[in-house]
């Protein structure tokens, strides 16, 4: 019996809808300049992100892990037998906590990870299969949008779409709205949506998390330029840009930028794109929105994704919501 299937919705390792690079052209020709955060995650970027998750200043992963550990068994009890769909599964480290809980209850283990990195999907799926003898994995390599529109109805009595790690924070309010509609469309009435979000908190805690002492976040941010150089035959000189991250208190979001140290021109050959930078001009590479539990619950309810249970840690740093359609 075959326990692993990996379907590539997009070719080759990343994002074809955009590997034409039209999103890069669009972002770099507008003012202010922006780039989509998914370009962080080439092999080195995924590796750096794993390192970020271990940093003392980056409380997000650690805190969400603690919350999951304390509520996973309750989640499994509520949903019963269900297919676990995970958007942006990455290394699937936190997912193991959920799988353990379902396994302990003797529930079937059916996991559908979705990620833009096919390499990451394959290695994490192989490692999971080795550790969970009854697990079935159906992986999809592609963007959330595409994957959500293509998954078939659940083979188990229910389905839970998991979007943990506060990746929702990368979407602006309008994108968030569209995304939640896509989640809803992939669920049947009575099925579940598990959402992990970073919460609003004092500026100094947030800014430390995105400006770590060891400079891993800076390397992660700058690596996006190396990724673009590789993907589009570019000539970004990473020594001529610097990492800049701050909390925008009006928008309740961390913004990560790359700031040009001088006047310079950069070419992305295969995109036939020449970009000019003024000294101090920035490219915004990421927004990371910080939520209030009240307003996100309102928003979910308005979308008919009704929060059934909300968990947080003792310091209210992070929130986990189990919603039902
Ligand atoms: C993966 C989007 C949740 O916003 O905290 C970590 C990415 N960026 N450090 C976040 C990230 C800089 C992360 N998310």
What does the pLDDT profile of the chain (325 residues) look like in tens digits? 578 888 877 544 444 445 578 899 999 999 999 999 989 988 899 899 999 999 999 999 999 999 999 999 999 999 999 999 999 988 899 999 999 999 999 999 999 999 888 888 899 999 999 999 999 999 998 888 888 988 899 999 999 999 999 999 999 999 999 999 999 999 999 999 999 999 999 999 999 999 999 999 999 999 999 999 999 999 999 999 999 999 999 999 999 999 999 999 999 999 999 999 999 999 999 999 999 999 999 999 999 999 999 999 999 999 999 999 9
Phi, psi of 252 (to 5 degrees): 55, 50
Closest to 161 measured CA to CA, from 187, 179, 135, 181: 187
Q: What are the phi and psi torsion angles at 311 (to 5°)?
A: -120, 150
Indicate the top mutation candidate among 172, 288, 289, 320 to test ligand 1's pocket, ranked by most ligand atoms within 8 A of CB: 288
CA of 3 to the centre of ligand 1 (A): 31
Q: Decide whether any atom of ligand 1 lies within 6 Å of the 169 Cβ.
A: yes
Residue 52's φ and ψ, nearest 5 degrees, are -60, -40
Tokens of 23: 């999103």
User: Which protein residue has the closest C-alpha to ligand 1 atom 5?
Assistant: 288
Q: Both tokens of residue 143? A: 């963007």
322 CA distance to ligand 1 middle (Å) = 21
Predicted ipTM of the assembly: 0.99
CA 197 – CA 254 distance, rounded (Å): 13
Q: Which of 163, 166, 220, 289 to mutate to test the pocket of ligand 1 (most atoms within 8 A of CB)?
A: 166
């Amino acid at each position: 019996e075959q326990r692993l299937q990996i379907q590539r919705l997009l070719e080759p390792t990343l994002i074809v809808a955009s590997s034409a690079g039209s999103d890069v052209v669009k972002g770099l020709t507008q003012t202010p300049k922006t780039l989509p955060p998914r370009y962080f995650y080439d092999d080195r970027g995924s590796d750096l992100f794993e390192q970020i998750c271990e940093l003392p200043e980056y409380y997000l992963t650690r805190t969400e892990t603690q919350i999951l550990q304390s509520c996973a068994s309750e989640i499994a009890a509520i949903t019963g037998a269900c297919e676990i769909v995970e958007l942006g599964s990455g290394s699937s480290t936190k997912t193991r906590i959920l799988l353990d809980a379902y396994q302990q209850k003797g529930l079937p283990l059916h996991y559908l990870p979705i990620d833009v990195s096919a390499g990451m999907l394959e290695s994490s799926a192989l490692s999971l299969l080795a550790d969970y003898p009854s697990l079935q994995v159906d992986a999809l390599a592609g963007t959330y949008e595409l994957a959500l529109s293509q998954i078939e109805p659940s083979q188990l009595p229910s389905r839970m779409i998991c979007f943990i790690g506060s990746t929702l924070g990368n979407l602006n309010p309008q994108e968030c709205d569209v995304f939640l509609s896509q989640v809803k469309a992939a669920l049947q009435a009575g099925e579940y949506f598990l959402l992990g979000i970073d919460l609003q908190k004092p500026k100094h805690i947030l800014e430390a998390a995105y400006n770590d002492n060891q400079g891993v976040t800076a390397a992660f941010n700058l690596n996006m330029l190396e990724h673009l150089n590789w993907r589009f035959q570019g000539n970004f000189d990473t020594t001529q840009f610097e990492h800049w991250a701050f909390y925008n208190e009006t928008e309740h979001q961390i913004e990560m930028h790359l700031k040009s140290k001088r006047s310079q021109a950069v070419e992305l050959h295969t995109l036939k794109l020449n970009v000019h930078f003024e000294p101090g001009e920035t490219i915004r590479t990421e927004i990371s929105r910080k939520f209030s539990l009240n307003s996100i619950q309102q928003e979910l309810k308005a979308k008919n994704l009704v929060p059934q249970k909300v968990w947080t840690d003792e310091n209210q740093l992070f929130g986990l919501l189990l919603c039902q359609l």
